[in-house]
DNA sequence: CGGGATCCCAGAAGATACTG
DNA sequence: CAGTATCTTCTGGGATCCCG
């Protein structure tokens, strides 16, 4: 009985994986995971999304202060890329000096939730990974 | 009532995000998401994990055939990196010619499940992203 | 068969200076 | 304040050759 369940699990996983690769042609020649990953797999997007998720709205220099180490250029590039994909909105207030506010869209908040799930898994298993890494280094 | 629920949701999200950053110091100066992402955020790890997840066990050249476009070097590098982190096992059979089998560990299978969840979200929302990208391009 | 070692390059990211 | 422009630096990954 247990064996059957485990076997069923396996088959489901295999089907899902097959589905991912079936869709490859339709979606600009790339599997959806890779495509999504391209959106936040870079060096700064995650931090940007997390900060906007925590603070709800932030100005350019506020973000720059919160994301330690990021350069002006990379913050600009990152925000433009997130905006392009509809994950972030950019609102310019025509004042002097200018004020620009960034927020997550609903889509961006959805992605944030996925990231947090991934973070949960990561926190649960990070120690195993660190241990494995150390074992590997000692061999 | 509904407003309170939404507000509760928000607070939960904020707490989670704060937790991620609280742990930064303890975990080699990096938040766990970034650390995990470093494991499969590269160009080939995902495909490797997906293939091993689908086939259960694979030899070096079988993998190379399944992952179109990958070079010998990058397959080696990718597999070593996954092995180092305890996501993949490498078994050498001392025959002539040599035979080497790769499999996902339990940890690797756990990560695979996370990836599949991400894929589910991706498939649901990829079209929104593509639309947003097109709108952005036309402005 | 399953790699290791070496060379090389494009594109990502940092530093710095300037601007509406 | 919120960028843009330009230059340089760094790194991931491809190509090639070799080996047990």
Q: Is the CB of B57 under 7 A from strand C?
A: no
Strand D contact with B55 (CB < 7 A): no
Question: Chains A, B: CB contacts under 8 A, how many?
Answer: 147
- Sorted by where each begins, the domain ranges of chain A are 31-137
* Å separating the CA of residue B77 from the C1' of nucleotide C5: 13
pLDDT digits (tens, 9 = 90+) for A63-116: 999 999 999 999 999 999 999 999 999 999 999 899 999 999 999 999 999 999
Q: How far apart are CA A37 and CA B119, in angstroms?
A: 10
Query: Smallest Cα–C1' distance to nucleotide C5: which residue has it?
Result: B73
- Alpha carbons A92 and A126: distance in angstroms, whole number: 40
What is the distance in angstroms measured between the alpha-carbon CA of B10 and the sugar C1' of C9? 46
What percent of chain B clears pLDDT 90, i.e. is strictly above it?
73
| Sign of the CA dihedral with B114 first, then B119, B121, and B126 last | positive
With CA atoms as reference, the chain A residue closest to B136 would be: A84
Does the A31-137 domain belong in CATH 1.10.10.10?
A: yes
| Gap from B137 CA to D5 C1', Å | 22
Residue B114 CA to residue A18 CA, distance in Å, equals 16
Instruction: Give A46's contacts in chain B (Cβ within 8 Å).
Output: 33-34, 37
* β-strand partners of B104: B88
Summarised one tens digit per residue, pLDDT across range B54-108 is 999 999 999 999 999 999 999 999 999 999 999 999 999 999 999 999 999 999 9
For D15, nearest residue by CA–C1' is B71
Query: Quick check: B64 and B58 in contact, CB under 8 A?
Result: no
b/e for A9-43, b at 16 or more Cβ within 10 A? eeeebeebbeebeebeeebeeebbbbbbbebbbbe
């Amino acid at each position: 009985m247990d064996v059957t369940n485990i076997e069923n699990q396996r088959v489901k996983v295999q089907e899902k994986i097959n589905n991912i690769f079936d869709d490859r042609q339709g979606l600009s020649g790339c599997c959806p995971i890779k495509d999504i990953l391209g959106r936040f797999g870079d060096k700064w997007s995650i931090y940007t999304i997390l900060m906007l998720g925590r603070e709800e709205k932030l100005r350019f220099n506020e973000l720059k202060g919160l994301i330690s180490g990021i350069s002006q250029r990379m913050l600009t590039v990152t925000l433009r890329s997130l905006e392009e994909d509809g994950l972030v909105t950019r609102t310019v207030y025509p004042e002097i000096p200018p004020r620009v506010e960034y927020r997550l869209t609903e889509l961006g908040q959805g992605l944030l939730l996925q990231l947090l799930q991934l973070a949960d898994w990561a926190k649960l298993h990070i120690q195993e990974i660190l241990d494995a890494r150390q074992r590997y280094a000692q061999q």
